Amino acid sequence: MGREVDLLVNYPKTKRDPKQRGEEKTPEDRAIARKFGKEFFDGERRHGYGGFSYMPRFWQPVVPTLQKHFDLKAGTKLLDVGSAKGFMLHDLNELIPGMVLRGVDISEYAIENTIESMRENVSVANAMDLPFDDSSFDVVISINTIHNLERDDCGKALQEIERVSKGKSFITVDAYRSSEEAERMRDWNLTAKTIMHVDEWKSFFDEVGYTGDYYWFIP
């Protein structure tokens, strides 16, 4: 197994209140969000982002951390599983020119609306069946994506990440360390289908053979 490391330490933290968010969300809202269509990205706030636009303040501070951790440079092949509109890939390309970047997302809407600079680099695909050969990428990253699958399917996605990488990867997943954090996560969660205690996640990684690095999203 890899290391528990917060590579998103410089990503801006949300200021929204989990309890209020939970009170505002209905099962219908969550069902709409899990379609990952226009409503999730650019619809009403209760269905997702409430407008998902490029802002350099989000990913540009993260890129130096990723660069140092993975020794990213021109020629490095990197895959983003759950690339959404390609904003992280865009900033990687801006700050580390010459990388070979690819992104996949289950959302046709997100791929069709990917930032212009990355549209030739992305495609629709399921994390459980990545359309790439074994060991195709030096680094595979997946941020807050695989937990949107049921537990068994989440395991398949982790095995796919393992298969297409050359041994370096990083994921983040919804998790909790205490009953208080579990309650906040239940209030916050909109799309995740697999949420576990951090120790359960670590056991799960070992069970399915995931050897990459990892960290948690805990509101």
User: In tens digits, what is the pLDDT along the chain, a chain of 219 residues?
Assistant: 799 999 999 999 877 666 676 567 788 999 999 999 999 999 998 999 999 999 999 999 999 999 999 999 999 999 999 999 999 999 999 999 999 999 999 999 999 999 999 999 999 999 999 999 999 999 999 999 999 999 999 999 999 999 999 999 999 999 999 999 999 998 889 999 999 999 999 999 999 999 999 999 998
pLDDT (0 to 100) of residue 18: 66
- Backbone Cα Rg of the chain: 16
User: Helices 198-208 and 151-164 sit at what angle, rounded to 10 degrees?
Assistant: 60
Domain spans in the chain, listed from the N-terminal domain onward: 58-217
Q: What is the DSSP string of 99-133?
A: -EEEEEES-HHHHHT--GGGGGGEEE--TTS-SS-
> Would you say how long the chain is, in residues?
219
User: Helices 63-70 and 87-95 sit at what angle, rounded to 10 degrees?
Assistant: 70
As a whole number of angstroms, the distance between CA 165 and CA 188 comes to: 31
pLDDT (0 to 100) of residue 175: 97
**Residue 205 is inside which H or E element, if any?**
helix 198-208
pLDDT (0 to 100) of residue 1: 72
pLDDT (0 to 100) of residue 14: 75
CB atoms within 10 A of CB 150: 10
pLDDT (0 to 100) of residue 17: 67
pLDDT (0 to 100) of residue 71: 98
pLDDT (0 to 100) of residue 22: 59
CATH of segment(s) 58-217: 3.40.50.150
